[in-house]
Chain A
Amino acid sequence: MSKRTPISTGSDWNFEVLTTYEREIARLADEYRLDIYPNQIEIITSEQMMDAYASVGMPVGYHHWSFGKQFLSVEQAYRRGQMGLAYELVINSDPCIAYLMEENTLMMQVLVMAHACYGHNSFFKGNYLFRTWTDASAIVDYLVFARKYVTECEERHGVAAVEQLLDACHALQNYGVDRYKRPSPISADEEARRQSEREAYLQSQVNLLWRTIPTPQDSVEPLEGDDEDPLGLHQSGRYPAEPQENLLYFIEKNAPLLAPWQREIVRIVRKLAQYFYPQRQTQVMNEGWATFWHYTLMNRLFDEGKVDEGLILEFLQSHTAVVAQQGFDSPYYNGINPYALGFAMFSDIKRICQEPTAEDREWFPDIAGSDWLDTLHFAMRNFKDESFIQQFLSPKVIRDLKLFSLVDDDTEEMLTITAIHDERGYQRIREALSTQYALSVREPNIQVWEADIRGDRSLTLHHVQDRRRPLAKSVYPVMRHLHQLWGFPVKLASMEGDEIVRRYQWPLPEDSDD
């Protein structure tokens, strides 16, 4: 090891020192082929950090009480000291905005730069979900556009009206994404230019839909109630012909009574949901990747003598806390720590590439002994949490974390341990954990089934039950919100196979016991 000439000593920082560190990290990151958006590193106060936090990571956002609620709870937790403020907050934009808090020590600033400005940043730029679903260069402009538009609506239509509409949209925002279709990227210019055009066009489309009497089609399965409809007036097929998973999109295009500005706001919420959609699916990977790189880069800085022992010790202590995983029976257990799991997995991929064991060769014949950096980049680019775990969760990581799976079935009296970290269990745990991270399993599968455009204009949704799991009670307030948007009765049927096991509707029927 060469003799140590640290860039600085002590825990105080200034811009000059930060710039020097940043340049060193950039040089090393380049060696590792981390491809990033330009970094815009902003120094802010803790109060500003709370502000940033409350707006769920949007640098500008429209006004809504729920962000105020978020702010109050962050503030409360911070004041009580329950929560260290996030020491990193990074925004998927081009340039990539990362916040450094002024109270942080020098070590923290360097760590955050390595973690956010190179780890997360390269993930945003490289991962296929982000490449497909978000347009980093447009998001900030779009947010500004959205905020301006919402404010204008508030001025024109009143704060209360806009707030109610947003409440309703927020309740459905997880169902505002096309999962299997590549969306068009969002762009503020585009939006603003096309907006008035679209308003007029949209409204005409909706009018058309609700006015036209469609001609009966050939291949129509007869609907029930034939006796009451001898002329077959209702036999013109379901609308929509295929179930629609994007509820907000369906509402934006088809809700009979929404005014053009209301459709536009539905669209804004939908577009923002789309922007956050990749983040919800890559938590383990994203944090794991960033943590892996801050660990690697910090150690390289130390090896090259750019940081002193004090700093690296402080770093190790902080890093250890970040990747700590409590056992399920610990009072502090709060689910699987995505930092811990992600870091363990990326580190293990590197190990498998560099020092494969016989077990690794059996489990990972393709990557055992391959170039670790290539493999890591490949993993980062082409997977999301679900498939990443399915592909790369190694027996060693399962053993290290002592993972086990358990089945909770409400028809059984006892819970059953179905797999533990042993030879027989690896594959099953891997599958179960992968499923646990699948968005389609985490969230109920709900789709638009039918809009009764020739009848009472009611909207029917189908909930396809997954392993008999019912909907939580929150279904009623959500239905109420949906009803506000749709303007006519909304119904929801929980399906087990082809059989309806439970029906919900709003407004509640008169004789309801709920």
Chain B
Amino acid sequence: MSYFIDRRLNARHKSEVNRQRFLDRYRTHIKRSVEEAVNRRSITDMERGEKVSIPARDISEPVFQHGPGGQRTIVSPGNKEFVEGDQLRRPGGGGGGGGSGEGNASNQGEGMDEFAFSLTREEFLDFVFDGLELPHLERKQLVDLEEVRPVRAGIARDGVPSRINIVRSMREAQARRIAMRAPIKRALREAIEALDAEERKDPVLRNPARITELKDEIERLEKRLDAVPFIDTYDLRYNNLVNQPQPSNKAVMFCIMDVSGSMTQSHKDIAKRFFLLLYLFLERNYEKVELVFVRHHTAAKEVDEEEFFYSRETGGTIVSSALSLVDSIITARYPAAQWNLYVAQASDGDNWDDDSTTCRQVLLKSLMPRLQYYTYVEITPHAHQALWEEYETVQDEFPERFAMRQIVESGDIYPVFRELFRRRSQQ
């Protein structure tokens, strides 16, 4: 009458479609929550989901119901002291609190004011990057088809032993064996039958010469049959691979930050978030993203992430030192033909006066032609200095690939980021 079925290995996420439908329907609500979260969250926090609340009235599914008013009788359990005919004060709707303990046993159940649920990390990031597009991805795909990748392309007769397709090879061998052995087998069978017929004849009528001849023939045929090889080089088949050009799926992101004395920790925090957003963004669009951290004061140095964000330095500022270092790293390790190159620079705008022109030179001559995108954020409430002005000329030169913005406080980051990476088609 009863049987058990183990369904545990069946597909989970049966509700996934419905879940997505819900998220789509309340996209605007959710986006608002996500944007607030991005502004509020600390840097180490970005990689998790988010709790989202939507006003319950916005997502209610209305049905005909009784509203308050009229006359109703309510039966409740747990009477302690009431007797028939007792009169009770009506529990106050808003602030009363009802010290008498009369819990108005409402069975209407208006429910909570907020409908709360959690987005997964993936969903959260999707919403963060909703409407954003990676700058100049198209260019790389159309022009720089430099990287090649081997792709399966059927079966070939030539190849290296490691790519032998055993099944196909054995099938060919079998076909060849059948084809080659069939006529021999037929001749052999005829010879055996003839010999048999000859030997069954009356001894007087036998032809000894014929018998010898047939025996030789049989022996010869059997040898030939044995000589048909089980497998021949002719049979071998190889999985064919052809090299197909592929758009590069690799990106490297250079983070450049000024760590001179004028950069306070709060400056660094803001920069940190900007880098993080860019990193998450790239990570979602490329299979592989490498990070290079370059920090500088008067001299630039490549460091690890920990040191980049948290160690303290003092001193003056020479921005071009960092740009030159990035330039040499690219030349040495990341050929532009194979890597999508991104640079994000954060600074408070201070620089040695005569260094800013050098920066412009390095950018125009050497860096910009190779980069996918260069973003510069200046974290300062003050007026711009020489560096900004020099960069403006760079922007004029490369309006599509050079972006710069000013950030005053951490709340600005996300809007600025969005603006920098807004979907190109909308422009």
Contacts and interface: CB of A to CB of B under 8 A. Distances in A.
Do they bind each other?
yes
Interface residues of B, number: 64
Contacts of A329: 78, 80, 101-103
Interface in A426-458: 429, 432-433, 435-436, 442-444, 446
A409 interface: yes
Nearest to A121: B2
A15 B76 contact: no
Contact of A43 (B5, B25, B101): B5
A219 interface: no
Interface string A410-423: 11011111111110
Interface in B25-82: 25, 59-80, 82
A51 B4 contact: no
A41 B6 CA distance: 8
A138 interface: no
Contact of A416 (B2, B20, B85): B85
A194 interface: no
A420 B12 contact: no
A473 interface: yes
Interface stretch (B113-121, B219-227, B289-297, B301-309): B113-121
Contact of B60 (A409, A432, A474): A474
Given A54-B18, A335-B105, A409-B71, A327 B88 contact: no
A512 interface: no
A133 to B, nearest CB: 20
B22 A72 contact: yes
Contacts of A18: 4
A63 interface: yes
B62 A478 contact: yes
Nearest to A415: B88
Contacts of A92: none
A48 B8 contact: yes
Given A409-B71, A413-B90, A478-B63, A336 B76 contact: yes
Given A42-B5, A335-B105, A406 B19 contact: no
A470 interface: yes
Given A408-B90, A417-B88, A51 B13 contact: yes
Contacts of B197: none
A272 B72 CA distance: 31
Interface in B135-157: none
B1 A39 contact: yes
Interface size class of A (residues with CB under 8 A): 35 or more
Contacts of A44: 7-8, 10
A468 interface: yes
Contacts of A418: 73, 84
A405 interface: yes
B4 A469 contact: no
A36 interface: yes
A325 interface: yes
Given A68-B23, A465-B70, A73 B77 contact: no
B115 A408 contact: no
A3 interface: no
Contacts of B17: 63, 68
Contacts of A477: 60, 62
Nearest to B60: A474
B89 A414 contact: yes
Contact of A327 (B10, B73, B80): B80
Contacts of A173: 63
Contacts of B86: 416-417
B83 A420 contact: yes
A125 to B, nearest CB: 12
Nearest to A18: B4
B64 A474 contact: yes
A422 B79 CA distance: 11
A308 B72 CA distance: 49
Contacts of B25: 65, 163
Interface stretch (A181-189, A207-215, A284-292, A396-404): A396-404
B118 A75 contact: yes
B170 to A, nearest CB: 42
Contacts of B76: 328, 336, 403-406
Secondary structure of the B contact surface, majority rule: loop
Contacts, number: 273
A325 B79 CA distance: 12
Interface string A13-55: 0010011001000100000000010111111110110111011
Given A69-B115, A415-B90, A471 B103 contact: no
A243 to B, nearest CB: 15
Contacts of A409: 70-72
A417 B75 CA distance: 10
A437 to B, nearest CB: 10
A425 B90 contact: no
A317 interface: no
Most buried by A among B18, B61, B65: B18
Interface in B315-357: none
A364 interface: no
Contacts of B75: 336, 403-405, 429, 432-433, 436
Contacts of A159: 21
Contacts of A468: 69-71
B2 to A, nearest CB: 4
Contacts of B101: 329
B201 interface: no
A244 interface: no
Nearest to A30: B1
Nearest to B83: A420
A302 interface: no
Contacts of B23: 68
Contacts of A433: 75
B84 A64 contact: no
Contact of A408 (B10, B64, B71, B116): B71
Contacts of A443: 64-66
Given A75-B118, A403-B77, A41 B84 contact: no
Contacts of A19: 4
Contacts of B10: 44, 48
Interface string A478-500: 10010000000000000000000
A65 B74 contact: no
A68 B311 CA distance: 47
B162 interface: no
Given A408-B71, A473-B67, A48 B77 contact: no
17 contacts: A15-B4, A41-B2, A51-B13, A65-B21, A71-B18, A102-B8, A328-B103, A329-B80, A406-B82, A409-B72, A435-B73, A465-B70, A469-B70, A469-B71, A470-B70, A471-B66, A473-B67
Interface of B: 1-8, 10, 12-15, 17-25, 59-80, 82-90, 101-105, 107-108, 115-118
Given A326-B77, A410-B68, 7 more contacts: A43-B4, A65-B22, A68-B18, A73-B115, A171-B61, A172-B63, A408-B73
List the 6 shortest-distance A-B pairs measured between CB atoms, nearest first: A327-B78, A68-B22, A469-B70, A68-B18, A472-B67, A72-B117
